[in-house]
Structures are given as structure tokens and as C-alpha cells.
């Protein structure tokens, strides 16, 4: 439907679609990582690396030609490249032509022996590797914040929940270790995915290296050395031993799967926080001027956690794109991967970046309300204390079966008061008034101490932080020092 505004200037930037990742959610670092400047300057650096390796292996390429390219690696004329692409309908050749005009001396050897995927695929691999290096320190910073939170609240009892029903007590800190444990698995997965990345390097049009073999007059050893050397110059220790025209899109599946897994972790944790906010036990940061609702001024909506869940769902959904793209790559390659990957890979990393940036903000300011937690415990603890009361009576000479029946009847009566009358749980009052329980009345306070219901939760937190978390934090010690400042979200 056309705009009804007669005086709208359509060239205004606000009349064009802009990704929310750029305007609201993702960090400047990750936005730059997927920017045109990063992409096309990496293309140029790859052409330089190729020329250097070819020169080292005996091709007639001069130092002056390489120096000319190096001087122009970042000076990209985007308008000229766009004009060339409109003519040629080929993005790589458009940039070859523009680069060649800027480097007339080097023009004859730019892209020598290479195919489009030499710059396209290899650049994607560079960008994904750099993307992981942006995400991992931020993930470690979140774990650090949660570790401090877990340590602070490791002994604070809280209701545990199974099936979303009150269960045996745990502690606030112990629950946080469950979030941390998942995040540690994500560190491992992201690190492995990053370190498993290899370089496509110099494989030629269908992966056979035929063009390079021709350049080196049939010298197979030099072609093999070229492949390895280009990878080394580009920061990779290994190359994929066999490829088609592209590196296998199975690689993209592994990459996006790790990011989708991170999304699942964050979604689970932030869903927990949203439920805790509903119970008014734990809240994410809430700024003084923040508005929870346009209609209901009293509301304190967990908007940060909701944002994490929303974007995490998008990242998780992107996995289906990656797996479907790989499954439809016929023989050595089909081009239906290209347009899809421009969106999927970028948004997987930008989405992961956005949820980590938001979660870092959340974990820097979590607020706990112990009195609310205590009130909720007291509503359920009388029922949970039944076994302790029975054991105490048996120690005083009581009959276990008789005591069990007494507690069962009193519990049902108390439950009726809670469910049918909306009153507080009065089981303990009923126990105190029943002469049968007179032998243990002076022990009831101890039997109802919430700290006696949390088992080894506090010790588990301490052991977990020492054995599992601290080694990781030491590994990222330098990066964490740079990420200690408070995080302010764009919007």
C-alpha cells in the first residue's frame, strides 16, 4: 500500500528498512563484523594474501604490486562497486574491477587463479571466527556475574519447583548454578565450533584446484603449499582437505547449531527470571524512569528477559535455515545458498550478540527479595516438614504409622483452609494444639528451620564455583577486566 503522505522524502533514512539489530539490539563490534566495510576489506586482504603466497612460490608478482594493494585495502569506493555490480550482476567481479582501478600496477594479478568463493567463503570463515571471539568473552562475563550472585545467595533457602509445583527447598544460589552450568556448556560448544573452523583457501572453481595447477605448470606440491600458505596468512592453521565450489555447508550447520543452543540456554534462564519476577522473589534491573506499562503505572515488567526470550527464539529458528540449505546443495554447489546465508549467518551472530549484551546487563543488577521468598516458603514448609515431625515423634517413642495418620489428617484439614478458604497454611498450629505431639513441641522451631531442608546446596555451590567456574574465569581474566563496566542498553 502506498504512503498517503504527499511530502515524505523517500530518500530519508527513516523511510528505508533498518534492521532492529542495527538500531536497537546488537553491539557496535558485532555490527562492524558483519558490515560491508569488514566484508570487502577482507576480500581485498585475501587477494593480497593470495598474491603474497603465489609470489613466494615463484609466480611473477612484484613487491610493488603487493604494496599498492596493501595501501588500498580499506579505501573502498562503495558507490563505484554498486555501479559495477548493476552492470555485471556479479558482486565479486564488481569489486575486482574497482580494486583494479585503484591499483593499476597490481590489476593483472588481482584474483589470479581464484574463483568467487575464494573471497566469499573464506571471508565468511574469517567473520564467523571473529564473531565467536566477540561472543565468548561476553559469555564469560555473564558467568562471572552469575558466579558472584550464586556465591552471595548460596545459603538463602527458596522453594524448589518440579512440574512448576512446590518441591523440596533449594537455595537461590544453587538455582543460579543451574543457569551457569548450561552457559559453561555453551562456552565449550562455541569454543569448539570456533576452533573447528578451517579455511577453504585456494581450491578453485569446483574444488579441484585445476586453475592453480595450471598456474604452477602442473606442480602439485606448489599448489598444495599455496593452499596451506594462504590459510596461514589469513590466520588459520588448517584447511578443509576437500571442498566443492564452496566449503561444505555442513560447517554452517555446526556454527548455527551452537548459537541456537546458546539461545535455548538464555531462553530457559530468562523464562525462570520472568517467573521469579511474577512471584516478586527476584527481579531484573529496573531503572528509576522506566515505565512498565502505558496504562498500568505500577507494573515492573521484566522487559529485558522478555527481549532475550524473543531474540533467542529467532536464533533457535535460524537452525532450520542452515540445515535445509546444506541439504539442498546439489553436487559441487547450487546458488540457492547465497541469499539465505547472507541473512542466516549474520542474524545468528547478531542475535546471539544481542541476547548476551542484554543478559550481561541483567546479571549486573539482579535484585533478590528475601522476605518475599521467606513468606512463600512458610506457605509450603509445614507440609514439607511432615517427615521431620514423624521422625522426631518416633525418636520420642511414638508409633510411625499412628503419627503418619495424624499428620495426614491434619495436612488435609490445613490444605482445605488454603484452597477452599484462601487462608494461610495452619498445619503447625494444628500440630501444636494436638496433645499427641506434646513430646516434640519444644523442637518444632528447629524442625521448621528452612536451612535444614536445603541439603548440600550451599556446599554444591562452593564446589561448583571452585572446580568448574573459576578455571574458566582465569582463562578469560584479561578480557573480563575490559568488560567490567556497567552495560547500558541502546533502547
Name the pTM for this structure: 0.91
Question: Of 4, 163, 289, 294, which is the active-site residue?
Answer: 163
C-alpha cell at 434: 494436638
- The residue segments making up the domain with residue 418 are 386-447
430 shares its domain with 312? no
399 shares its domain with 437? yes
Closest alpha carbon to 354 in 315, 321, 384: 315
Could you confirm whether 385 is annotated as catalytic?
A: no
Residue 414 has pLDDT above 50, yes or no: yes
* CATH assignment at residue 491: 1.20.200.10
Numbers of helices and strands, H then E, in the chain: 21, 4
364 shares its domain with 399? no
Higher pLDDT, 57 or 421: 57
* Residue 1 confidence (pLDDT): 46
* Residue 262 confidence (pLDDT): 98
84 shares its domain with 146? no
Residue 299 has pLDDT above 80, yes or no: no
pLDDT digits (tens, 9 = 90+) for 6-34: 566 666 777 788 899 998 999 999 999 99
193 shares its domain with 260? yes
394 shares its domain with 425? yes
Could you confirm whether 163 is annotated as catalytic?
A: yes
Among the three residues 48, 81, 109, which one is the final residue of a domain in this structure?
109
Residue 285 has pLDDT above 90, yes or no: no
Q: Angle at Cα 428 formed by Cα 426 and Cα 430, nearest 5°?
A: 70
* CATH assignment at residue 429: 1.10.40
Domain membership flag for residue 232: no
Domain membership flag for residue 26: no
Question: Of 62, 220, 293, 484, which is the active-site residue?
Answer: 293
Instruction: Give the bridge partners for 105, in sequence order.
Output: none
Residue 97 has pLDDT above 80, yes or no: yes
Mind giving me the DSSP string for 425-485? P-HHHHHHH-GGGGGGGGGHHHHT-GGGGSTTHHHHHHHHIIIIIHHHHHHTHHHHHHT-S
Beta strands in 172-305 (DSSP E): 282-283
Report the number of distinct structural domains present in the chain.
3
The C-alpha atoms of residue 79 and residue 165 are separated, in whole angstroms, by 61
Residue 434 has pLDDT above 80, yes or no: yes
Higher pLDDT, 412 or 463: 463
pLDDT digits (tens, 9 = 90+) for 359-401: 999 999 999 999 999 999 988 888 888 888 888 999 989 999 9
Domain membership flag for residue 80: yes
Amino acid at each position: 500500500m502506498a504512503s498517503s503522505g504527499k511530502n515524505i522524502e523517500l530518500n530519508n533514512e527513516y523511510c528505508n528498512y533498518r534492521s532492529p539489530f542495527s538500531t536497537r539490539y546488537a553491539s557496535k563490534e558485532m555490527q562492524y563484523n558483519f558490515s560491508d566495510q569488514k566484508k570487502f576489506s577482507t576480500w581485498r586482504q585475501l587477494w593480497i594474501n593470495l598474491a603474497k603466497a603465489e609470489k613466494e612460490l615463484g609466480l611473477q608478482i612484484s613487491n610493488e604490486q603487493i604494496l599498492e594493494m596493501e595501501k588500498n585495502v580499506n579505501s573502498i569506493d562503495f558507490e563505484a562497486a554498486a555501479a559495477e555490480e548493476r552492470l555485471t550482476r556479479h558482486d565479486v567481479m564488481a569489486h575486482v574491477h574497482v580494486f583494479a582501478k585503484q591499483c593499476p600496477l597490481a590489476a593483472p594479478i588481482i584474483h589470479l587463479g581464484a574463483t568467487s568463493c575464494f573471497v566469499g567463503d573464506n571471508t565468511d570463515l574469517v567473520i564467523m571466527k571473529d564473531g565467536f571471539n566477540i561472543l565468548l568473552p561476553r559469555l564469560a562475563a555473564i558467568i562471572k556475574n552469575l558466579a558472584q550472585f550464586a556465591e552471595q545467595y548460596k545459603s538463602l533457602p527458596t522453594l524448589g519447583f518440579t512440574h512448576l509445583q512446590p518441591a523440596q527447598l533449594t537455595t537461590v544460589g544453587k538455582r543460579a548454578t543451574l543457569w551457569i552450568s548450561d552457559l559453561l556448556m555453551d562456552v565449550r560448544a562455541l569454543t569448539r565450533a570456533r576452533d573447528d573452523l578451517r579455511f577453504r583457501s585456494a581450491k578453485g572453481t569446483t574444488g579441484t584446484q585445476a586453475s592453480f595447477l595450471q598456474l604452477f605448470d602442473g606442480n602439485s606440491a606448489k599448489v598444495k603449499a599455496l593452499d596451506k600458505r594462504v590459510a596461514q596468512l589469513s590466520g588459520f592453521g588448517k584447511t578443509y582437505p576437500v571442498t566443492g565450489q564452496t566449503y561444505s555447508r555442513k560447517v554452517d550447520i555446526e556454527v548455527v547449531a551452537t548459537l541456537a543452543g546458546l539461545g535455548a540456554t538464555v531462553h530457559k534462564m530468562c523464562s525462570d527470571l520472568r517467573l521469579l519476577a511474577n512471584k516478586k522473589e527476584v527481579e531484573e534491573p529496573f531503572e528509576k524512569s522506566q515505565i512498565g506499562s502505558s496504562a498500568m503505572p505500577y507494573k515492573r515488567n521484566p522487559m529485558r528477559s522478555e527481549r532475550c526470550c524473543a531474540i533467542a527464539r529467532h536464533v533457535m529458528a535460524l537452525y532450520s535455515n542452515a540445515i535445509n540449505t546444506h541439504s539442498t546443495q546439489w553436487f559441487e554447489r547450487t546458488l540457492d545458498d547465497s541469499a539465505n546465508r547472507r541473512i542466516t549467518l549474520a542474524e545468528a551472530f547478531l542475535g546471539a550478540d544481542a541476547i548476551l549484551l542484554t543478559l550481561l546487563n541483567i546479571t549486573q543488577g539482579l535484585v533478590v527479595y528475601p522476605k518475599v521468598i521467606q513468606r512463600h516458603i512458610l506457605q509450603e514448609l509445614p507440609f514439607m516438614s511432615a517427615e521431620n515431625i514423624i521422625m522426631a515423634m518416633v525418636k520420642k517413642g511414638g508409633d510411625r504409622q499412628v503419627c503418619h495418620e495424624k499428620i495426614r489428617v491434619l495436612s488435609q484439614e490445613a490444605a482445605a483452609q488454603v484452597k477452599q478458604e484462601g487462608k494461610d497454611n495452619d498445619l503447625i498450629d494444628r500440630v501444636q494444639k494436638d496433645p499427641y505431639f506434646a513430646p516434640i513441641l519444644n523442637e518444632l522451631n528447629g524442625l521448621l528451620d528452612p536451612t535444614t531442608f536445603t541439603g548440600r546446596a550451599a556446599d554444591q555451590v562452593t564446589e561448583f564455583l571452585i572446580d568448574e567456574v573459576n578455571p574458566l574465569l582465569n582463562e578469560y581474566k584479561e578480557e573480563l577486566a575490559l568488560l567490567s563496566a556497567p552495560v547500558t542498553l541502546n533502547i
